[in-house]
């Protein structure tokens, strides 16, 4: 089918014209929109002049034998493939962002670190109190030796030592808790690294999967 208007013959539709120019239909539409090529609409279809297309090709890349073009060539799918790749890339970025967000929300590392810092401060405070208590015990021992009977001195000295042992036991216990938390933090970091490594491998293999799917 063709449409003849005046001295120009519009006998190529958009698909055939895109094959002739070796471009996609989308690129051809951009040429039409920018007035680089003319067209006519007949019965709802867009027709283009073969002579004008040949002149356009000569202007862009030199003379081309347009009559040797096979109009039965399958439709070009460059733009479609590019769109699919772009869409897939956006899906990969979105998936990575979602995985990172979920991993960050579910990770207990922040809780462990906070607990570790609190216990560390508490141990430091108890250590200071123990040092003060030892100093006071030394002072009391010197005072008791000179001011109270020996039996009373031993009784108070026993109570002071008992308190010291109690404080030391608490410090040892909390030191054990701190060591356990440190170990948990190390395992948490190690697990996170393994997770990130697996994620990077999956993301690295995704382009290959896409290539196999669209082949």
Q: Where are the domains of the chain?
A: 3-76, 107-214
- DSSP three-state, residue 75: coil
| Residue 6 Ramachandran class (φ > 0 left, ψ -120 to 50 alpha, else beta) | left
pTM > 0.75: yes or no? no
Mean pLDDT lowest among 83-92, 129-138, 170-179: 83-92
Higher-scoring residue by pLDDT: 94, 168 = 168
pLDDT at 203: 83
Average pLDDT over every residue of 57-83: 49
In this prediction, residue 30 has a pLDDT band, given cuts at 50, 70 and 90, of very high
| Mean pLDDT across 1-22 | 74
How confident is the model at residue 108, as a pLDDT? 64
Q: Lowest-confidence range among 89-98, 141-150, 163-172?
A: 89-98
For residue 107, the model assigns a pLDDT of: 57
Q: What is the average pLDDT across 105-131?
A: 79
Average of per-residue pLDDT across 167-190? 87
What is d(CA 171, CA 161) in angstroms, rounded to the nearest whole number?
15
Average pLDDT over residues 76-90: 41
Q: What does the alpha-carbon distance between residue 72 and residue 61 come to, in Å, rounded to a whole number? A: 23
Q: How confident is the prediction for the chain on average, in pLDDT?
A: 75
More confident call, 68 vs 21: 21
pLDDT at position 87 is 44
Check: CB of residue 188 under 8 Å from CB of residue 157.
Answer: no
Cα 125 to Cα 149: distance, rounded to the nearest angstrom: 34
Please, are residues 24 and 17 in contact by the beta-carbon 8 Å criterion?
Answer: no
Share of the chain above pLDDT 90, in %: 9
Q: Which of 18-32, 130-144, 179-193 has the highest mean pLDDT?
A: 18-32
Domain 3-76: CATH class, spelled out: mainly alpha
- In the predicted structure, residue 71 carries a pLDDT above the cut 50: no
What pLDDT was estimated at residue 62? 55
């Amino acid at each position: 089918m063709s449409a003849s208007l005046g001295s120009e013959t519009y006998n190529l539709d958009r698909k055939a014209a895109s094959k002739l120019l070796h471009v996609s239909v989308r690129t051809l539409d951009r040429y039409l929109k920018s007035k680089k090529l003319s067209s006519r609409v007949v019965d709802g279809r867009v027709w283009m002049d073969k002579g004008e297309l040949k002149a356009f090709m000569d202007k862009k890349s030199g003379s081309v034998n347009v009559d040797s073009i096979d109009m039965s060539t399958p439709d070009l799918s460059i733009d479609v493939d590019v769109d699919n790749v772009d869409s897939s890339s956006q899906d990969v970025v979105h998936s990575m962002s979602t995985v990172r967000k979920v991993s960050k929300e579910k990770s207990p590392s922040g809780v462990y670190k906070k607990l570790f810092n609190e216990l560390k401060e508490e141990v430091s405070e108890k250590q200071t109190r123990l040092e003060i208590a030892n100093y006071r015990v030394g002072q009391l021992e010197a005072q008791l030796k000179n001011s109270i009977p020996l039996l009373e001195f031993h009784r108070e000295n026993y109570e002071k030592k008992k308190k010291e042992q109690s404080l030391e036991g608490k410090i040892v216990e909390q030191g054990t808790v701190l060591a356990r938390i440190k170990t948990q933090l190390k395992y948490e970091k190690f697990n996170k690294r393994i997770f990130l490594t697996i994620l990077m491998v999956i993301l690295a293999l995704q382009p290959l999967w896409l290539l196999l799917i669209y082949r």
